[in-house]
Amino acid sequence: MTDVQAPAAGEALPAPTRMEDLKPKMRLAGTVKKIELFGAFIDVGVGRDGLVHISALRPERVNNVADVVKEGESVTVWVRKVDPGNGRLDLTMIEPLAVEWNELKSGQIYAGKVTKTEKFGAFVDIGAERPGLVHISEMATYRVEDVSEVVKAGSEVRVKVLAVDSRKKQIKLSIKAAELAELAQEPEEVEDIGEELTAMQLAFRKAQQKAGPGALRLDERRGRPQSQRRVQEDLLQRTLANKRK
């Protein structure tokens, strides 16, 4: 299981002094040293000026470099590519995404924020170009009738990437899968009986342990034992609810 924290593309770091210290997406403070038709050379204090190509000056089209920057001006730039061996440094003045499409993989877990809710699910920002969708069926380990029961706009959540379609610009996420994965990763406290368990089985077993002996109780309305599925949902729901507190 891969647990990924979106890199803080806009985070200011201590000023590097060597090209070897530079990494993609690192934010730097620099000074415009020279302007050309094709871009601007920026001194970021590493002994070699970096180039901001004209296409990387602004998100919108730029026809004249001098319309955006002037020599001697202080600017904020981000590292696009660095090649210390050849002394090449490509910079950009367009803040990069925290998570690029080619960095997204199924199974990754991200911290995100709910940007919008709909009847069918919620959209969560994980730092990619577009928010991903958590379908209502992926909201919790129990059946959710109303999305607002689980999340609201602004809610901070942990989500697992289920699928990525970079062509359609779609990301499918799951809160349920992230919670089950993290619950299954907790230290195992049950006796080893030599059986292989699925993540769901392991999570259920741990939920049983935490819920205590009173978990398998009678259905108050019908006076008979609850079904295994209902017991599982009840145990997991209570365990995950306690984890959120």
- pLDDT for the residue 218: 36
Phi, psi (degrees; rounded to nearest 5) at 220 = -60, -30
pTM value is 0.62
DSSP string, 26-92: -EEEEEEEEEETTEEEEE-SSSS-EEEEGGGS-SS--S-GGGT--TT-EEEEEEEEEEGGGTEEEEE
Q: How many CA atoms lie within 13 A of 33 on its CB side?
A: 13
Does domain 101-180 fall into CATH 3.10.270.10? no
Other CB atoms closer than 10 Å to residue 170's CB: what's the count? 12
Q: Are 41 and 47 in contact (CB under 8 A)?
A: no
- pLDDT for the residue 237: 61
Q: Are 41 and 51 in contact (CB under 8 A)?
A: yes
Helix boundaries (H) for the chain: 175-184, 199-211, 228-244
List the pLDDT tens digit at each of the 245 positions of the chain.
Answer: 445 544 444 444 567 889 999 999 999 999 999 999 999 999 999 999 999 999 999 999 999 999 999 999 999 999 999 999 999 999 999 999 989 999 999 999 999 999 999 999 999 999 999 999 999 999 998 999 999 999 999 999 999 999 999 899 999 999 999 999 888 776 655 444 455 555 555 665 655 555 444 444 434 333 334 444 555 556 566 666 665 55
Instruction: Please give the distance of CA 178 from its chain centroid, rounded to a whole number.
Output: 12
CATH for the stretch 2-92: 2.40.50.140
- pLDDT for the residue 227: 46
Angle between helix 228-244 and helix 175-184 axes, rounded to 10 deg: 90
**What are the residue ranges of CATH 2.40.50.140 in the chain?**
2-92, 101-180
Q: Distance between CA 113 and CA 123 in Å, rounded?
A: 8
- pLDDT for the residue 160: 96
- pLDDT for the residue 10: 47
DSSP-based three-state secondary structure for 108: strand
- pLDDT for the residue 183: 84
